[in-house]
Each structure stands twice: as C-alpha cells, then as structure tokens.
C-alpha cells in the first residue's frame, strides 16, 4: 500500500479529495528542511508545494516513487535527479487562469487611476477642503486605448491578453530577450518595452530569466509606464526597481512577488511608501476557486500515477 505524505498542507485552503486507491495518508501543515528526511523515510508519494526536495535528500529516499507538486513552479524539486532515479514528478497547470489575470487588472487599474493617491488625499481632508464637487489632485488615465506589453504568453499571459482586448487595449507580445528573429504575432523585446504603457510579466524563473528587467530595461520604458509582476520576484532586479520608482523613471509598479519569500526585514520594497507602488503578499493565485481547482487536479495527478498513466508530468 502506498504511503502519501503532504509536507505543507497549510499552504492550500481547499477540500482535498483523497486518492481513490488504498493508501496511508499523513500530512503536516508545514515542514522545516531538517524535518524532511524523517517525515519521508517510508513514503512512496510526497506532496509538496514549496518545501524543497534536493538531490542530497532524494538520494536518501529509495522508496520514493512520485512527487506531486501542489503548484505550477518546479524550481523547489531537483528534476534532473528525479529523472535519474525514475521518480515521477507532476505539477499543476492552468488552475489560476482566472484569478491571476484578475489580480493583474486590479493592480493596473488601481495604478492607472491613482487609487492610493486619492485615498491618501481623502485621509488628509483634501476633498473636504475642495472648492468644487470633485478633486483633480492626480491624473486619472483609462486603460482603453493604451498598450499592454505581455512578457510571457502561456495560459495566464493569454488570459491577460484577452482581458486587455476586452478593455480596448492594444496588446503586444514580446519576443524572447536577445532573440535574433521575431516570430509572427510577436514584437521585438526592446520595442515592446518602448511602446507599452503597461508591462505584465508571466514567465518562470530560471537562469535565462533572472533579472530580466533591470536598469537598462527601465531606461527603455516610457516615463509613465507601469510594470506588473505576478509571476516570480527574481524576474526583476529589485534595486533597479527601487531606483526607477524613486527617481520617477517609470510611472508605477504593482508586484505580488519578491525575490525572497517570505521577505526578510530590511527589504526596501517592504517600506516603500509611494502611491504608485502596490505590493501584495503573493496572493494573486490564491482565490478560493483557484485553490479548489488546484486541489482537485493534485488528486487527479496522483490517481493517474497509480493507474500507470501519469498526467501533467515534468519528470
């Protein structure tokens, strides 16, 4: 009988259906790195959202057959080692194709219409002191007629593009940075930066994409442009972002992710009190509906593995 161990079950708020085949189930709300080996000693299937499973750990788990990642990202698991050891790895796909795009547009609308700045004015009594019925202390800009640049055009990027079109925005899809040719339907990376009123990032984090946006890229953007990042914090050089915001080089930024999570005290973005910067705590993916879809797919992946036909397989 298979033994399934969920290492960080508190990371998902959902009704997790148990697999259909006979099994023993053990879950822990959270697991520290020094607890992993002891908890997986006799496990054949492990579920992890963010707990890391590196080579030095996997090599000490001869009975492990499957890793079910309760997320799309796989950077917390040594995929190469799993392939060497014939450990099946499955992830979750397309569960957040509604909730992340909605979060993107929440950030974009709030920044484009200066929501935080107007809220601060209200708190300071500016409207109450105004000589007319409305307050014109900050510009309000429409999304309609503006240009959105998409960097990354997978399922979520495509969904963001559809919403943008519904708002009446022009959508540019960026070609890979440094590409020597541009595919049909795509726009040169640098031209996308120059021509967009807002940029939205939808890429995985890997050696090719780390610090994709830095000082040089901010220098290419329009002075009023917005940068939205609901993907991975490491895609953007945080020190360059801070400088671009403080100097007014760009119009604003809405981030749901940071390079280190949870963030450590001293990260200057945590204390950045500007009306054109919004930081949310990695929640774009986490609507209750999306988490339930994730949980259902997680169990489906494990059931498919037990039938000998793994789905959403990455190793």
The verdict on 48 and 110 lying in the same domain is no
Q: Choosing from 56, 59, 84, 261, which is the catalytic residue? A: 261
Q: Does residue 314 belong to any structural domain of this protein?
A: no
**87 and 104, same domain (yes or no):** no
Whether 282 is a known active-site residue: answer yes
Residues 113 and 213 placed together within one structural domain of the fold:
yes
Mark whether 160 and 249 lie in a shared domain.
yes
**Are residues 29 and 47 part of one domain?**
yes
Report pLDDT for 239.
96
Q: Domain for residue 15, yes or no?
A: yes
- What is the total count of domains within the chain? 2
Looking at the fold, whether 136 and 62 belong to one and the same domain comes out as no
Give the C-alpha separation, 297 to 218, whole Å: 38
Find the domain containing 37 and state its range: 2-95+289-306
Q: Are residues 298 and 183 in the same domain?
A: no
Give catalytic status of residue 138 as yes or no.
no
Q: What is the pLDDT, as a whole number, of residue 133?
A: 94
Q: Which residue has the tokens 């190793």?
A: 315
Q: What are the φ/ψ torsions at residue 189 (nearest 5 degrees)?
A: -55, -50
Burial class for 244, CB neighbours closer than 10 Å (0-12, 13-18, 19+):
buried
Q: What is the pLDDT of residues 95-120, one digit of tens each?
A: 999 999 999 999 999 999 999 999 99
Q: Which of 281, 258, 224, 226 is nearest to 108 (CA)?
A: 226
In this prediction, residue 131 carries a pLDDT of 86
In a domain, 263, yes or no: yes
Query: What's residue 73's pLDDT?
Result: 86
The pTM of this model reads 0.90
User: Are 38 and 109 found together in one domain?
Assistant: no
Give catalytic status of residue 26 as yes or no.
no
163, 85: one domain = no
Residue 270 lies in a domain: yes
Q: Which of 269, 214, 266 is nearest to 236 (CA)?
A: 214
Give the C-alpha separation, 144 to 106, whole Å: 15
With respect to residue 284, please indicate whether it lies within any of the assigned structural domains. Answer: no
pLDDT score recorded for residue 315: 83
Give pLDDT tens digits along the chain (315 positions): 899 999 999 999 999 999 999 999 999 999 999 999 999 999 999 999 999 999 999 999 999 999 999 999 898 999 999 999 999 999 999 999 999 999 999 999 999 999 999 999 999 999 999 989 999 999 999 999 999 999 999 999 999 999 999 999 999 999 999 999 999 999 999 999 999 999 999 998 889 999 999 999 999 999 999 999 999 999 999 999 999 999 999 999 999 999 999 998 889 999 999 999 999 999 999 999 999 999 999 999 999 999 999 889 988
67 assigned to some structural domain: yes
In a domain, 252, yes or no: yes
Query: Do residues 207 and 238 both lie within one domain?
Result: yes
Q: What is the dihedral of CA 217, 94, 148, 247, to 10 degrees?
A: -40
Is residue 121 located within the same domain as residue 251?
Answer: yes
* Residue 38 and residue 56 in one domain: yes
pLDDT tens for each residue of 41-53 = 999 999 999 999 9
Residue 69 lies in a domain: yes
Which is the catalytic residue, given 39, 103, 112, 232?
232
CATH code: domain of residue 294: 3.40.50.720
Specify the pLDDT at position 75.
Answer: 87
Sheet with 277-279: list strands edge to edge: 170-173, 147-151, 198-201, 226-229, 252-255, 277-279
């Amino acid at each position: 009988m298979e033994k399934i161990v969920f290492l960080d079950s508190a990371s998902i708020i959902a009704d997790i259906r148990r697999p259909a085949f006979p099994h023993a189930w053990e879950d822990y709300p959270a697991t520290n790195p020094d607890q992993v080996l002891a908890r997986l000693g006799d496990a054949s299937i492990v579920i992890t959202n963010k707990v890391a499973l590196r080579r030095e750990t996997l090599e000490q788990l001869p009975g492990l057959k499957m890793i079910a990642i309760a997320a799309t990202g796989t950077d917390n698991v040594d995929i190469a080692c799993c392939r060497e050891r014939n450990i099946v790895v499955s992830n979750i796909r397309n569960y957040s194709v509604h909730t992340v795009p909605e979060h993107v547009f929440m950030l974009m609308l709030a920044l484009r219409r200066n929501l935080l700045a107007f809220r601060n004015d209200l708190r300071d009594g500016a409207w109450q002191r105004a000589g007319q019925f409305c307050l014109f202390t900050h510009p309000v800009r429409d999304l309609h007629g503006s240009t959105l640049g998409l960097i990354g055009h997978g399922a979520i990027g495509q969904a963001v593009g559809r919403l943008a079109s519904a708002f009446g925005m022009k959508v540019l899809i960026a070609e890979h940075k440094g590409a020597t040719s541009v595919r049909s339907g795509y726009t040169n990376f640098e031209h996308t930066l120059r021509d967009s009123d807002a940029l939205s990032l939808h890429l995985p984090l890997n050696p090719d994409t780390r610090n994709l946006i830095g000082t040089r890229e901010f220098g290419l953007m329009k002075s009023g442009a917005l940068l939205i990042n609901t993907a991975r914090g490491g895609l953007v050089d945080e020190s360059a972002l801070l400088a671009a915001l403080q100097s007014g080089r760009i119009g604003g930024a809405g981030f749901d992710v940071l390079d280190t999570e949870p963030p450590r005290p001293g990260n200057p973005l945590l204390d950045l009190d500007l009306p054109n910067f919004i930081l949310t705590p990695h929640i774009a993916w986490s609507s209750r509906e999306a988490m339930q879809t994730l949980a259902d797919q997680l169990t489906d992946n494990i059931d498919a593995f037990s039938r000998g036909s793994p789905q959403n397989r990455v190793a």
